[in-house]
């Protein structure tokens, strides 16, 4: 079942197996996906709307990681471990100050997302989905960024889409920014209004085929 972007924004639905009962509201989300999917753009727009604290993943990379990426060398799990731990701590610190947080982070693998969830158990996830060709085209047109288009293929090799994980919303990255933001905020509000029985895997729009 795949909801359209417009219909979801008006009337979101929750579905899937493994519903969980939450003790606390969802106060933070990670906006994830490969390079070029628009994580920072969507995160900034959402923060402007609701006054949440933006945690920009790119700002937490070590100089070692940045040098590797500039050279076109893919990061390893070990390279990303400390980066993810720093992001997890920054997100937890934000929540401890009674602020909501929106984290822009690739979070490509389930294990990476689980590191973040270890610090923020009720972490929501907005997955911005696009094709390799779309990602390559977007990255090729970016300037002043350390992530070259040559690393797109390695990102898709690492990518483990979070379709069956809890508290996940999937959106087509090529949808209009305002439409994604509207739908994501409606989804977030709906979850917090219906804490009991939230199911994993909410999906919207017509993203790339999963078959």
pLDDT tens-place string over residues 66-121: 888 888 788 889 988 999 999 999 999 999 999 999 999 999 999 999 999 999 98
- DSSP state string for 162-177: -TTSSSEEEEETTS-H
Q: pLDDT value at position 38?
A: 93
What does the pLDDT profile of the chain (211 residues) look like in tens digits? 223 333 333 333 322 222 344 468 899 999 999 999 999 999 999 999 999 999 999 889 888 888 888 887 888 899 889 999 999 999 999 999 999 999 999 999 999 999 999 999 899 999 999 999 999 888 887 666 566 667 788 999 999 999 999 999 999 999 999 999 999 999 999 999 876 544 445 544 434 434 3
Q: Which two structure tokens, joined as six digits, stand for 48?
A: 């402007």
Q: What is the pLDDT of residue 211?
A: 35
What single string gives the DSSP state of each residue in 112-152?
Answer: HHHHHHHH-TTEEEEEEE--HHHHHHHHHT--S-S--GGGH
pLDDT given for residue 195 in this prediction: 67
φ/ψ (deg, to 5) at 129: -100, 135
What pLDDT, on a 0 to 100 scale, did the predictor assign at position 206? 36
Would strands 123-129 and 28-32 be described as parallel, antiparallel, or unpaired? parallel
CA atoms within 13 A on the CB side of 149: 12
Phi first, then psi: what are they for 77, rounded to 5°? -60, -40
Q: The whole model's pTM is what? A: 0.80
How long, in residues, is the chain? 211
């Amino acid at each position: 079942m795949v909801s359209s972007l417009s219909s979801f924004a008006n009337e979101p639905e929750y579905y899937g197996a493994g519903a969980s009962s939450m003790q606390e509201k969802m106060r933070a989300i990670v906006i994830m996906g490969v390079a070029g999917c628009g994580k920072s753009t969507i995160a900034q727009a959402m923060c402007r709307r609701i006054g949440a604290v933006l945690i920009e993943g790119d700002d937490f990379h070590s100089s070692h990681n940045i040098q590797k990426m500039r050279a076109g060398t893919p990061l390893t799990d070990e390279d990303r471990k400390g980066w993810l731990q720093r992001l997890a701590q920054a997100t937890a610190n934000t929540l401890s100050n009674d602020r909501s947080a929106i984290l822009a982070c690739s979070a490509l693998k389930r294990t990476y997302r689980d590191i973040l969830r270890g610090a923020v158990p009720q972490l929501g996830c907005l997955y911005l989905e696009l094709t390799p060709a779309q990602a390559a085209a977007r990255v090729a047109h970016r300037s002043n960024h350390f992530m070259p288009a040559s690393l797109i293929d390695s990102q898709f090799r690492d990518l483990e889409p979070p379709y069956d994980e809890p508290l996940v919303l999937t959106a087509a990255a090529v949808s209009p920014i305002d439409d994604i933001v509207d739908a994501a905020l409606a989804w977030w509000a709906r979850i917090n209004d219906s804490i009991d029985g939230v199911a994993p895997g909410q999906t919207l729009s017509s993203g790339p085929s999963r078959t």
